[in-house]
Chains A and B, each alone.
Chain A
């Protein structure tokens, strides 16, 4: 409940009123660190972010002024203005990756709530650094309190971003610090939080439960694998988060629009992670391809195959087979045998127990199977096995997300 209707109205502009969730994109990096490609191409990237359906975009005051016209329209994302500045990304003499490193950590209030409101913003965001020093935290609290008072006066939501940074922050106490700082931010007057993930669902749930206001989880550093970034969001949502603020994982993505679409699907409950990353689509037949030249024979593929299907470890029931050849033979030393979806097993199956699903993987109807074993006999790669009762064990592409492909770090398995 808010003391002014302005806050309630603007919170509804940012958080989808149907589900109370929001996907926001942070595009304020140029305000605090080097002008990397995502900063230089901001206009183009924002175009893609808007097309992807983001609920909010965080920008500096200057960017909001220059690019605000892109946000006109009911279907466009809400504008969030970054109301402070800091030099953390450039901090430290050893930080040679920056053009101009700095020695002293500084944070300055740079815009007022009133300025952001004039800009048509639906919220402002400010940092709350905790763990660097008592003095620095006090300055942060003082600034946050002033912003909170201003925001109350003009009816603008205040998003506080607690960041555990400094010599007193360790791997041991970081979750505890984030949990405490989230509640402290609420007590000061935050209307929502933008906060890093604590690392696990249990502590993040504690953070959400104790803060009592909407929590947006940060995407964090650029992840090499998009799925990893989305899994973090998925965990945070399970802990009760109200959405996410993704920065570099969107603005530096190969396809920012697709990344935002995926985030929106996940956060607004349209698709699960598995559905988002399901490489097998209806009507589009895809199959595994083994690249023996890349295989080092680690057998992780066989192990995860068994684990994915029977919740046990071992390789004897794997639906693919790594064949090691004697060293005196010509390379490659390992031959990757996988189901190539030749459908020979389906064709030979008289009772039609084996069929091809709409999604394009082989499925077995045990009630029809007569355990004749013919499917195994015709398999050209000998990757059809049989369980103790004589039923065939055949690759089902893990129902769309083959674990062997996901786990093979040598690119010896691909979905083609």
Chain B
């Protein structure tokens, strides 16, 4: 139950019983990957089938015409920049992972965003984590007065995260962000047990992040764990016949 009617209305633009959200923001880290060269054209295809599109602030400004609108994907604005996604195939090697705020609640509201999306990186060390939490807490306080929902995208990808503590780290991130006051969470598509635990425990909507398209039955089982939908990365654009596969999920 949202105390702010503004938040409730904005959240309802994004969430349904089986929400599908597309994340286009990787380009701020690595430039335009395959399929994202002409984001405007890509969005024209995606906005009718998705419930939300996560955009960088620069893109929503130029592509306002391609996002939002009745029965079309609501624009969510990612408020932070990172070099964490630069892999071995990127032209510049990364030696120190950075996360920098590139927008704020007022800016997101001015841009017409239905929600702000902040990233919580986990496993990059104490100082990094502390600064990340401070920054997200500040955003949540700032957004409160504007009735702007804040989604936190939990990314357990630091070198302190291994296979053995991966699922627990996700749970830790969920706990932190519920305590911080987030309005929604995005977690990696993890083991069913973890999804079930988080789905039953969380009092705020949770979306699962997937690098690839999944089948209708797999999606159904995710939803059954009280997860409200999926966030797909740009990697799905490189999958064959991705549009009709997404349509099937709806």
Between A3, A135, A141, A190, the greatest number of chain B beta carbons within 10 A of the residue's beta carbon is seen for A141
User: Which residue on chain B has the smallest CB distance to residue A207?
Assistant: B31
Q: Is A245 an interface residue (CB 8 A)?
A: no
Q: Is B236 an interface residue (CB 8 A)?
A: no
User: Which residue on chain A has the smallest CB distance to residue B102?
Assistant: A145
User: Which residue on chain A has the smallest CB distance to residue B31?
Assistant: A180
Flag A184-214 by CB within 8 Å of B: 1 or 0 each.
1111111000000000000000000110110
| B25, A187: Cβ atoms closer than 8 Å | yes
Query: B105-113, B115-123, B144-152, B208-216: which one contacts chain A?
Result: B105-113
CB contacts (< 8 Å) of A142 on chain B: these are 100-102
Flag A135-162 by CB within 8 Å of B: 1 or 0 each.
1011001101100110011000000000
A177 to B91, CA, bound (A): 6
| A183, B102: Cβ atoms closer than 8 Å | no
| A168, B93: Cβ atoms closer than 8 Å | yes
| B58, A210: Cβ atoms closer than 8 Å | no
| B81, A145: Cβ atoms closer than 8 Å | yes
Chain B residues 1-60 with CB under 8 Å of chain A are 25, 27-32, 37-40, 56-59
CB contacts (< 8 Å) of B107 on chain A: these are 149, 152-153
CB contacts (< 8 Å) of A190 on chain B: these are 58
Main secondary structure of the interface of A (DSSP, over half): helix
| A187, B104: Cβ atoms closer than 8 Å | no
| A148, B58: Cβ atoms closer than 8 Å | yes
User: Which residue on chain A has the smallest CB distance to residue B55?
Assistant: A187
CB contacts (< 8 Å) of A212 on chain B: these are 38-40, 62
For residue B97, give the distance in angstroms from its CB to the closest CB of chain A: 7
Tally the A-B contacts, defined by beta carbons under 8 Å: 112
Q: Is A225 an interface residue (CB 8 A)?
A: no
Partner of B61, one of A168, A189, A210: A189
For residue B33, give the distance in angstroms from its CB to the closest CB of chain A: 10
| A180, B30: Cβ atoms closer than 8 Å | yes
Q: Is A182 an interface residue (CB 8 A)?
A: yes
For residue A60, give the distance in angstroms from its CB to the closest CB of chain B: 25
| B58, A138: Cβ atoms closer than 8 Å | no
Q: Is B92 an interface residue (CB 8 A)?
A: yes
CB contacts (< 8 Å) of B95 on chain A: these are 133-134
| A141, B81: Cβ atoms closer than 8 Å | yes
Q: Is A1 an interface residue (CB 8 A)?
A: yes
User: Which residue on chain A has the smallest CB distance to residue B39?
Assistant: A212
Q: Is A385 an interface residue (CB 8 A)?
A: no
Known: A138-B83, A138-B98, A209-B37. 12 other contacts (CB 8 A): A131-B92, A134-B83, A134-B94, A137-B83, A145-B101, A148-B58, A177-B91, A181-B31, A187-B56, A188-B56, A209-B38, A210-B31
Enumerate chain A interface residues (CB-CB to B < 8 A): 1-3, 130-131, 133-135, 137-138, 141-142, 144-145, 148-149, 152-153, 168, 173, 176-177, 179-190, 209-210, 212-213
A-B contact pairs, 16 of them (CB 8 A): A1-B62, A1-B63, A135-B98, A141-B81, A144-B102, A145-B103, A148-B57, A149-B57, A152-B57, A168-B92, A168-B93, A173-B92, A179-B31, A187-B28, A189-B58, A210-B31
- Of all A-B residue pairs in the complex, the 5 with the closest CB atoms, nearest first, are A180-B31, A145-B102, A187-B28, A189-B58, A138-B98
